Amino acid sequence: MVRSYMKMKNLYKICLLVFFLPLGLLAQDFQEYDISIAGISIGEMTATRKISGENSQIDIRSKVGFWFFGKIELDYHTVSIFKGTHFIKSEVNSKTNKGNFRSLITWVNDHYKVNSRNYKYELDTEVRKKLFFSSASFYFEEPKNVKEFFAEGYGLVSPVTKYKDHYEVNVNGNKNRFYYVNGKLDKAVMEFPIKNFVVKRKTP
Each residue's pLDDT tens digit, 14-40: 333 334 444 444 578 999 999 999 899
Task: Let me know if 23 is exposed, middle or buried by CB neighbors in 10 A (0-12, 13-18, 19+).
Answer: exposed
Each residue's pLDDT tens digit, 29-87: 999 999 999 899 999 999 999 999 999 999 999 999 877 666 778 899 999 999 999 99
Which residues touch 74 (CB under 8 Å, ≥6 apart)?
A: 43, 62, 63, 64, 65, 94, 95, 96
pTM of the model: 0.84
The answer to whether residue 97 is domain-embedded is yes
Which structural domain, as residue segments, surrounds residue 153?
Answer: 23-201
Is the CB of residue 139 less than 8 Å from the CB of residue 31? Answer: yes
The answer to whether residue 30 is domain-embedded is yes
Q: Is 85 helix (H, G, I), strand (E, B) or coil?
A: coil
The answer to whether residue 10 is domain-embedded is no
